[in-house]
Amino acid sequence: PKEIFLKDYKLPAYYFDTVDLGFSLGEEKTIVSAKICVVPRVDGAGSPLVLDGTDLKLISVKVNGNELKEEDFHVDSRHLILTSPPSGNFTLETLTEILPQKNTSLEGLYKSSGNFCTQCEAEGFRKITFYQDRPDIMAKYTCRIEADKSLYPVLLSNGNLIEQGDLEGGKHFALWEDPFKKPCYLFALVAGPLESRDDTFTTCSGRKVALRIWTPAQDLPKTEHAMYSLKAAMKWDEEVFGREYDLDLFNIVAVPDFNMGAMENKSLNIFNSKLVLASPETATDADYAAILGVIGHEYFHNWTGNRVTCRDWFQLSLKEGLTVFRDQEFSSDMGSRTVKRIGDVSKLRIYQFSQDAGPMAHPVRPHSYIKMDNFYTVTVWWNWKVYEKGAEVVRMYKTLLGSEGFRKGTDLYFERHDGQAVTCEDFFAAMRDANDADFANFLLWYSQAGTPVVKVTSSYNAEARTFSLKFSQTVPSTPGQPTKEPMFIPVSVGLLDSCGKDLPLSSIHHDGMLESLTCNGQPVYTTVLRVTKGEEEFVFSDVPEKPIPSLLRGYSAPIRLHSDLTEDDLFFLLAHDSDGFNRWEAGQILARKLMLSQVANFQKDKPLVLAPQFVHGIKCIILDSSLDKEFIAKAITLPGEGEIMDMMEVADPDAVHAVRSFIRKQLASELKQEFLNLVKENRSLEKYEFNHANMARRALKNTALGYLGSLDYQEVTELVLHEYKTATNMTDQFSALAAIAQKPGKARDDALADFYDKWQHDYLVVNKWFALQSASDIPGNVENVQKLLEHPAFDLRNPNKVYSLIGGFCASPVNFHANDGSGYKFLGELVVQLDKLNPQVASRMVSAFSRWKRYDETRQNLAKAQLEMIMSANGLSENVFEIASKSLA
Ligand code: HT7
Ligand code: ZN
């Protein structure tokens, strides 16, 4: 396979002006016609025109209406090359045959569950027709679709519907025209027996936009929340970013077979049905929140990605980092900002940081790739976003510039680049120029891989009333980048007095400069330090007493921070910090320290102990009625096993699992009454509502239930069963089921059987049932998962089912990393099987192996053997090859 490098980027020799596509959708084959107006770039004229095309059957090729002679073109399984095209503008017409019914990769045009559907990002358009499949080719499209009317009553593509009508032989057609220029990865087509939920949105300038969400008829009642989310997103983008929707129609289609979460095709977003369909009985609060966020995300792409797109795929973060940032802000504004930030940072730590420390480490803007698809995802779970670190980079611009400065920057970015395909430097320049800002070496965030490690030490001088913070930073070496330069790190800081109140910050000394920190004569309580060097000191003046510093407030930069805060300081911050994120963070640091110390005990065969101070800290949080309930739920949840393993020299899944289970059970037992009270006091109100207050009650009650489920008392087992039986929504029902399922036995078996019985007709709920069982830590679970592969509800061709069952299994460290190698063998064999059907999904699964060098020698050998077996498989895809070979390197 060929590696592609950022440094090799060249402007295309030819641009495309207009593209007229025609699709004749058939039961055996589909015929695609493409008429393209080709415009040579000034110095490109006459050079060969190289079109991408993967496994297409070329029927004919014409230039300016004349069939090309054999000596004027070359065609193979990857390209069509016009060897001597005319020197001026010309028309290129091709006719190709494709087989969507046989396309199980779900990339290009495919037929599944009765629908024709496309997925073109990143390089799927070349599976549809011959084209320059690169995002800097932006053209205006029309699309005419012809198909059997009874099988495919709905025919959709991008833009506006221009014409439709009946044809002979029971067929019909639709002609769509998209007035905006777009790259081919945003092209979309859907045809099938769908119905729509219709609504309208009136934009800020008074235009009425028709909104339609398409699903099979029986699913329409489950689209209410998606429609609510879409309208909320449209309004929010107008208010916060000044972005108005630009067409009169916006379509969303939900399909059950989709590799990722959703796709932002111009005016025709296609969604994995998991991220559209919800009802209180079948979807959890987490599902509702994910739908809100992803509907927002895809809608926001209309400006960040579609109107302004990427020059090449190395710039992916230009659209994804910015759009993830926008969807995070949207969800924050719709719910609790602190809780959202905690969730986003946890995700960043679990996925991004562990990737940063492994063989797939790459900068926000990679230098090379073999298969672009691999840069979209990092892990094995349905949580498909890889772009979180890019979003953190965008967030740092905002932290440095403030809300107004950031908005000035985005306004300038849209003004300068509307209709263009641009680079990360263009975004940087707009932020800088709109604010006349000094960003020092900020661009390093795009090119340098790895998570910076920052150490902070503090000291107070009572006589001089100064408080100093000394920073030192290093960036660990990563594959291909052995040495690194210091980064520009914005560190948001506040100082707490001995009562826990924020001290006013008056001035700061840095680099021989004295800077006043008051703002319009008003005191400032949080300031952003610009850390740019390997070693640096900042000195606060006029500090009346020894403060406790609250560092990296709101997690103002994606770094690993090590400070000299003592345990007492951390308990103090946990109890008092006005920054909610840091309050949670203090508890997490304490929990991580505790867990690591007990892991050391476990490894030395010493008894495990739970420090009373920690139990007391958790109890205080539970009893603090001033706190948001969802925050409490987060604050009393221990860091995940993966996070702890990441902090160890040699990851030990058995020790970490034993310790986490021990602490959970001990907390449950010592705080049993408190947890019982939480359950009783926070039972769901009559009617399910997706609002913060109700979700917070459910989150707290169900977290408490999870703790109680770890205990062995009859009374508790009965309570958990009672909660399961009386639940009136999926959030409560599934949480109770998960609590019961913690321990093997009859209660577990009966509840799981009952749940399947109830929900077997709903495949999205059945996926939850698969995931719950596969991710279970009960010993020897690999056998259960093997059996579930044979379950009639399982299907290897459906990505959601694979993510639930196989992805779920890899997310359980004890069973996946079982030291007899059974988990590795299970995954290795599956990857080979899956790769033949769907390389994108297979490569997502194989990435579970990528950190094999972090484990002990026995596990290393077992995992390596599986990777080698995969590498030796016949016909391995580029997707899997890239991950497996980089993992072995
Ligand atoms: N921009 C979309 C990416 C995407 C994708 C990429 C590779 C293969 C399949 C895919 N489906 C969707 C999703 C987004 O970020 O909004
Ligand atoms: Zn996106």
* Dist CA 538 CA 471 (whole Å): 8
For ligand 1, mutation pick of 123, 263, 325 (most atoms within 8 Å of CB): 263
316 alpha-carbon distance from chain centroid: 13
* Dist CA 280 CA 726 (whole Å): 14
- Residue 347's pLDDT band (cuts 50, 70, 90): confident
pTM above 0.90, yes or no: yes
Task: Give the per-residue pLDDT at 380.
Answer: 31
Cis check for the bond before 122: say yes or no (omega within 30 of 0): yes
CA distances (Å), origin 763, targets 605, 708, 800, 846 = 45, 29, 10, 25
Q: 């495990």: which residue's tokens?
A: 608
CATH architecture of the domain 1-193 equals: Sandwich (2.60)
User: Average pLDDT in the 235-251 region?
Assistant: 98
Of the residues 121, 123, 264, 298, only one is catalytic, namely 298
User: Average pLDDT in the 530-558 region?
Assistant: 97
* Dist CA 869 CA 833 (whole Å): 12
CATH architecture of the domain 760-889 equals: Alpha Horseshoe (1.25)
Residue type, 221: P
DSSP 709-764: TTS--HHHHHHHHHHHHH--SHHHHHHHHHHHTTS-SHHHHHHHHHHHHHHTT-HH
Task: Give the per-residue pLDDT at 377.
Answer: 53
As given in the structure block, the two tokens for residue 526 are 């949080």
Which of ligand 1's atoms lies nearest the C-alpha of 373? Answer: 7
233-247, 279-293, 503-517, 587-601: which has the minimum mean pLDDT?
503-517
Q: What percent of the chain has pLDDT over 90?
A: 91
Higher per-residue pLDDT: 362 or 691 = 691
C-beta of residue 652 within 8 angstroms of C-beta of residue 599 = yes
For ligand 1, mutation pick of 376, 388, 803 (most atoms within 8 Å of CB): 376
Q: What is the mean pLDDT of the chain?
A: 95
Return the domain boundaries, the chain.
Answer: 1-193, 313-447, 461-476+488-558, 760-889
157-171, 193-207, 350-364: which has the minimum mean pLDDT?
350-364
* Dist CA 27 CA 255 (whole Å): 19
| Beta strands 368-369; 4-5: pairing state | antiparallel
Q: Name the CATH superfamily for 313-447.
A: Neutral Protease Domain 2 (1.10.390.10)
130 pLDDT above the threshold of 90: yes
Task: Give the per-residue pLDDT at 352.
Answer: 65
Minimum CA distance residue for ligand 1 atom 1: 263
Provide the H-helix boundaries in 496-625.
567-576, 580-603, 612-623
* Dist CA 43 CA 47 (whole Å): 9
Ligand 1: does its nearest atom lie under 6 Å from the Cβ of 579?
Answer: no
| Longest distance between any two alpha carbons in the chain, whole Å | 94
Nearest-CA neighbor of 825 among 783, 881, 878? 783
Minimum CA distance residue for ligand 1 atom 8: 373
Nearest-CA neighbor of 48 among 129, 155, 137, 132? 132
- Residue 383's pLDDT band (cuts 50, 70, 90): very low
* Cα 313 to middle of ligand 2, angstroms: 13
User: In this predicted model, what pLDDT tens digit does every residue of 251-303 receive, in sequence order?
Assistant: 999 999 999 999 999 999 999 999 999 999 999 999 999 999 999 999 999 99
Ligand 1: does its nearest atom lie under 6 Å from the Cβ of 121?
Answer: yes
For ligand 1, mutation pick of 121, 275, 317 (most atoms within 8 Å of CB): 121
C-beta of residue 698 within 8 angstroms of C-beta of residue 682 = yes
* Cα 121 to middle of ligand 1, angstroms: 6
Residue 487's CB is within 10 A of a number of other CB atoms, namely 23
As given in the structure block, the two tokens for residue 872 are 């030796």
Q: Fold identical between 1-193 and 461-476+488-558?
A: yes
Ligand number nearest CA of 321 is: 2
- Residue 30's pLDDT band (cuts 50, 70, 90): very high
As given in the structure block, the two tokens for residue 170 are 């029971």
Task: Give the per-residue pLDDT at 386.
Answer: 44
As given in the structure block, the two tokens for residue 608 are 């495990």
Q: Measured between alpha carbons, how far apart are the two ends of the chain, in Å?
A: 16
ipTM: 0.99
* E strands in 307-381: 309-310, 368-369
Task: Give the per-residue pLDDT at 388.
Answer: 86
Task: Give the per-residue pLDDT at 374.
Answer: 79
Which of ligand 1's atoms lies nearest the C-alpha of 106? Answer: 9
Beta-sheet strand order (sheet of 507-510): 513-516, 507-510, 535-541, 466-474, 453-461, 560-563
Torsion, CA 3, CA 9, CA 11, CA 15, rounded to 10: 40
* Dist CA 332 CA 71 (whole Å): 60
User: Average pLDDT in the 118-127 region?
Assistant: 97
Nearest-CA neighbor of 380 among 703, 784, 739, 834? 834
Q: Name the CATH superfamily for 461-476+488-558.
A: Aminopeptidase N, middle-beta domain (2.60.40.1840)
Task: Give the per-residue pLDDT at 44.
Answer: 82
* Dist CA 505 CA 494 (whole Å): 8
Please report, for the chain, how many H helices and E strands are present, in that order: 28, 33
Task: Give the per-residue pLDDT at 818.
Answer: 97
843 pLDDT above the threshold of 80: yes
User: In this predicted model, what pLDDT tens digit does every residue of 104-114 receive, in sequence order?
Assistant: 999 999 999 99
831 burial class (0-12, 13-18, 19+ CB within 10 angstroms)? buried
Beta-sheet strand order (sheet of 73-75): 49-52, 79-82, 73-75
Secondary structure class of 475 (helix, strand, coil): coil
Task: Give the per-residue pLDDT at 373.
Answer: 82
382 pLDDT above the threshold of 80: no
203 pLDDT above the threshold of 80: yes
Ligand 1: does its nearest atom lie under 6 Å from the Cβ of 327?
Answer: no
Minimum CA distance residue for ligand 1 atom 11: 260
Residue type, 369: Y
Q: What Rg do the C-alpha atoms of the chain give, in angstroms? A: 28
- Residue 353's pLDDT band (cuts 50, 70, 90): low
Minimum CA distance residue for ligand 1 atom 15: 320
* Cα 280 to middle of ligand 1, angstroms: 28
User: In this predicted model, what pLDDT tens digit does every residue of 412-470 receive, in sequence order?
Assistant: 999 999 999 999 999 999 999 999 999 999 999 999 988 999 999 999 999 999 999 99
C-beta of residue 268 within 8 angstroms of C-beta of residue 290 = no
221 pLDDT above the threshold of 90: yes
In the DSSP assignment, the letter for residue 875 is: T
The reply to whether 298 belongs to the active site is yes
* Cα 95 to middle of ligand 2, angstroms: 32
672 pLDDT above the threshold of 60: yes
Ligand 1: does its nearest atom lie under 6 Å from the Cβ of 840?
Answer: yes
Ligand 1: does its nearest atom lie under 6 Å from the Cβ of 299?
Answer: no
Ligand 1: does its nearest atom lie under 6 Å from the Cβ of 723?
Answer: no
User: In this predicted model, what pLDDT tens digit does every residue of 767-810 receive, in sequence order?
Assistant: 999 999 999 999 999 999 999 999 999 999 999 999 999 999 99
Ligand 1: does its nearest atom lie under 6 Å from the Cβ of 645?
Answer: no
Ligand number nearest CA of 324 is: 2
360 pLDDT above the threshold of 80: no
Helix H or strand E segment including 16: strand 14-24
| Angle subtended at Cα 157 by Cα 151 and Cα 162, rounded to the nearest 5 degrees | 100
The phi and psi torsions of 370 (rounded to 5 degrees) equal -100, -50
Higher per-residue pLDDT: 519 or 830 = 830
The phi and psi torsions of 444 (rounded to 5 degrees) equal -60, -25
- Residue 361's pLDDT band (cuts 50, 70, 90): confident
Ligand number nearest CA of 391 is: 2
* Dist CA 700 CA 678 (whole Å): 7
CA distances (Å), origin 437, targets 17, 393, 397, 479, 690 = 37, 16, 10, 33, 41
